[in-house]
Chain A
Amino acid sequence: MAHPAETLWVYRNQETQNSHELPVYRASGGYQALERALNELAPAAVLEQVKASGLRGRGGAGFPTGLKWSFVPRETSEPRYLICNADESEPGTFKDRYLMERDPHLVLEGIALASYAIGAAAAFIYVRGELAEAARRLEEAIHQAEAAGYLGERMVGTQTSLKVTVYRGAGAYICGEETALLNSLEGRRGHPRLKPPFPATHGLYQCPTVVNNVETLANVPLIVQNGAEWFRSVGTAKSPGTKVFGVSGRVRHRGNYELAMGTPLSTLVYGCAGGMEDGYQIRAIQPGGSSVPFMTPDQIDCPLDFESVSEAGSLLGCGSVIVVDQTMSIVEACLILARFYHHESCGFCVPCREGTNWMLRILERLVAGQGTAADIDLLYEICGSMLNRCFCPLGDAAAMPVQSAIERFRPEWEHVVRHGVDSVKSNVGATLSGH
């Protein structure tokens, strides 16, 4: 059941039975935007509409989508490509998976409209390798859509055609970075590329390419169908529309909730998610996935939009809210994050490869009770040495949470050094059994 605070746009079909089937999608108004656009609107008009809507990328960076599309050269003999980034791997993030599994046609319609706007005749959906079910659903949906004339040759009776291919990744977080994704799609190791040049001019096979997140593309049919003004009627001036927020940790109702941008964090955590489970209290919150700085419990009323969360010293990222409770020390939380980034660092650039390694070793010492006060300073210094000095954003993602944890929870770190990690944890005696 949807929570009253929700505004269901891209998640409107999530609880509809058989929502992944074409007839069900069409019954909800699906593919009307594509029919109208291909028959009545020029590609530039679709682009202008998305630009006017103010839609910003939902994959983490928040870059204006229409602007990104406009960087693709209009007059070119080269093929142009549209890539749907479905490599959802950010810890705490589980929104795109459900869009693909339960509403694959919405994603495909977004892909078709984006491809039309930039003049692409081929699109790829780069699906995270683990998400086998999502990949299967997308492939079935592509077959259905091709048979019904929404994809493939002569779409909806027009001269436009589009071939959509599902491409399965194979386990590499870094491939969510758009240039690493392109290398992977070319059959290489998933190392990021130097930018500039940007994918808009030199992307897949060095041809003009747009890479958009699943949720971003899912918004496009709604904008084309209802107009930019309608889209701007929800959310804030600079962050219009809705966002799918995922809440995880010891809250009562973990899950995804689609809310207007600018909704307070407290509405999400206490309203939608029902607050904390009995006996658990909030220690810290990451509002945008595992890669963003921690917020403190007193910031619970922060509005969830790109600007407000930045002003609060963190980042909205992909809107994945991770609630760390009092049964886990902030030092342990940092160790779990460090293990992730150490594992996922692609090893291509030195500050990230070495930095994530040293971060992990120091955090392991601290949690094992073998750390010193000097280790806290050393760890903080390593974070500073990584920020803005790594080849791609993964290094920043590894450093930012730990840096913020030291800045905002320094007394806890010092307590852990003196008295051990268990001394700062409250134990509610909860076990997995019967949970």
Chain B
Amino acid sequence: MVSQAGIDEIRRLAASFPRRESALLPALWVIQREEGYLPEESLRVVARELSMEPSDVTSRASFYTMFALRPRGQYVIQVCQSISCALVGAQQVIDHLRGRLGIEVGETTHDERFTLLTVECLASCGSGPVMQINEDYFEHLTVERVDEILDGLP
């Protein structure tokens, strides 16, 4: 459940925009930062605070790919598969991660540590292949570098 501090932040956000509904995306970011995804009861809290219908909040949240409506792993690994990274070996990175983690793209490991996703362009076209782990970028990837990065995670 979203904390009181989270609710207070959402209220501040709602008051900071010319219209309250503009605070929807920022409010959803607050929830996802606190809970890792967007649980239904928290979406109801957002609806209440922004004077919106819960179904509208869910519908709009589902439009944006970065919002997770289901729980994910502690580390969400997103590998860019767009053209610029594909030209320099993104598929080898993806295949290596599938093998190492023993999961397919879109899945989460049993220990709930890793979720593997492919994403479209991360604006690192000059330094690909690239992956994002939670909010951090890792560029110029090689298979060896991917192993180093994963081994180094706390």
Q: Which residues of A contact B (CB under 8 A)?
A: 79, 88-94, 96-97, 122, 128-133, 165, 167-173, 184-190, 205, 246-250, 254-256, 290, 320, 322-325, 328, 333, 336-337, 339-340, 343-344, 346, 431-435
A186 in contact with B89 (CB, 8 Å): no
A92-B125, A94-B123 given; 4 more Cβ-contact pairs under 8 Å: A92-B84, A93-B121, A336-B81, A432-B92
B123 in contact with A248 (CB, 8 Å): no
Q: Please tell me if B82 contacts chain A, counting CB pairs below 8 Å.
A: yes
Contact A248-B93, Cβ < 8 Å, known A172-B65, A343-B120: no
Give bound CA distance, A291 to B63, whole Å. 22
A-facing residues in B46-105 (Cβ within 8 Å): 50, 52, 59-60, 63-67, 81-84, 86-89, 92-93
> Which one of A186, A254, A431 lies within 8 Å of B22 (CB-CB)?
A186
What's the nearest-Cβ distance from chain A to residue B27, in Å? 9
Q: Please tell me if B42 contacts chain A, counting CB pairs below 8 Å.
A: no
> Which one of A172, A337, A433 lies within 8 Å of B64 (CB-CB)?
A172
Q: Please tell me if B152 contacts chain A, counting CB pairs below 8 Å.
A: no
Q: Which residues of B contact A (CB under 8 A)?
A: 16-19, 21-26, 28-29, 50, 52, 59-60, 63-67, 81-84, 86-89, 92-93, 119-129, 132, 135, 137, 141-144
Contact A92-B26, Cβ < 8 Å, known A205-B19, A432-B93: no
B84 in contact with A322 (CB, 8 Å): yes
10 A-B pairs with C-beta separation under 8 A: A91-B125, A130-B132, A133-B137, A173-B120, A187-B24, A248-B126, A290-B121, A344-B120, A432-B142, A433-B143
What's the nearest-Cβ distance from chain B to residue A338, in Å? 11
Give bound CA distance, A412 to B132, whole Å. 35
Chain B positions within 8 Å of A132 at CB level: 135
Give bound CA distance, A344 to B119, whole Å. 11
Contact A170-B92, Cβ < 8 Å, known A186-B19, A246-B125: no
Chain A positions within 8 Å of B24 at CB level: 187
Contact A89-B135, Cβ < 8 Å, known A168-B29, A254-B126: no
B18 in contact with A205 (CB, 8 Å): yes
Interface centre among A97, A133, A434, A435 (most CB of B within 10 A): A435
What's the nearest-Cβ distance from chain B to residue A297, in Å? 15
B125 in contact with A169 (CB, 8 Å): no
Give bound CA distance, A323 to B126, whole Å. 12
Q: How many A-B residue pairs have CB under 8 A?
A: 153
Contact A336-B86, Cβ < 8 Å, known A432-B92, A432-B93: yes
A187 in contact with B66 (CB, 8 Å): no
Chain B positions within 8 Å of A346 at CB level: 63
What's the nearest-Cβ distance from chain A to residue B78, in Å? 8
Give bound CA distance, A322 to B85, whole Å. 10
B84 in contact with A249 (CB, 8 Å): yes
What's the nearest-Cβ distance from chain A to residue B11, in Å? 15
B64 in contact with A88 (CB, 8 Å): no
A187 in contact with B23 (CB, 8 Å): yes
Chain B positions within 8 Å of A433 at CB level: 142-144
What's the nearest-Cβ distance from chain B to residue A257, in Å? 10
A186 in contact with B142 (CB, 8 Å): no
A91 in contact with B23 (CB, 8 Å): no
B65 in contact with A435 (CB, 8 Å): no
- Nearest A residue to B122 via CB reads A130
> Which one of A90, A344, A435 lies within 8 Å of B89 (CB-CB)?
A435
Chain B positions within 8 Å of A250 at CB level: 87-88
Give bound CA distance, A261 to B141, whole Å. 33
B83 in contact with A94 (CB, 8 Å): no
B86 in contact with A130 (CB, 8 Å): no
